[in-house]
Structure 1
C-alpha cells in the first residue's frame, strides 16, 4: 500500500529545484552587484534588485510546494505536517 501519493514526492522534489533555479536566474540578472559569498539570497528579492520578481516568484513557488507536501503527507504526524507547512 502506498502511504504517500506520487504528487507529494513531486512537490517535495521540485521545491529545492525551484529555489536553486530562481537563485541562479536572479543572480544572473543582478550581475556583479551580487556576491553569493557575502550576501544572502534574500538580497536578490529586495526592492530595487534587477531580478527581484524572479526570486520573489521562486520563494512563493517554494512555499506552495511546502504547503502541498504538508497537505499530502497524511501518513505523517500532524505536528510534523504543521511544522512543514
Structure 2
C-alpha cells in the first residue's frame, strides 16, 4: 500500500495525462475552484431530487466538509447535523 501522500505515477506509454491535482495548499483551505466545482444542495441543477438515487444528504462547499490537509491530500469529512 502506498502512503496517502505518494506522487501520481506517470501515464503509461501512449497515454497523455490531461488533468492532475496534487492538492497542495494550506491545511484547512478549500480546493482550487478554477479546477473543481462544488455540487451543493440535494440535486444537480435541473436534475432529479436526491440526485436521482434517493440520497438524503445535503452537499456543501464548506471547508468543514472538504478541505486540503496541508500534506497534499484532499480531506472529505461527513458531518451529521441535527436535521
Which category describes the TM-score, using the shorter chain as reference length? Answer: under 0.3
User: What's the TM-score once normalised by structure 1's chain length?
Assistant: 0.24
Larger RCO: 1 or 2 (CA < 8 Å, sep 6+): 1
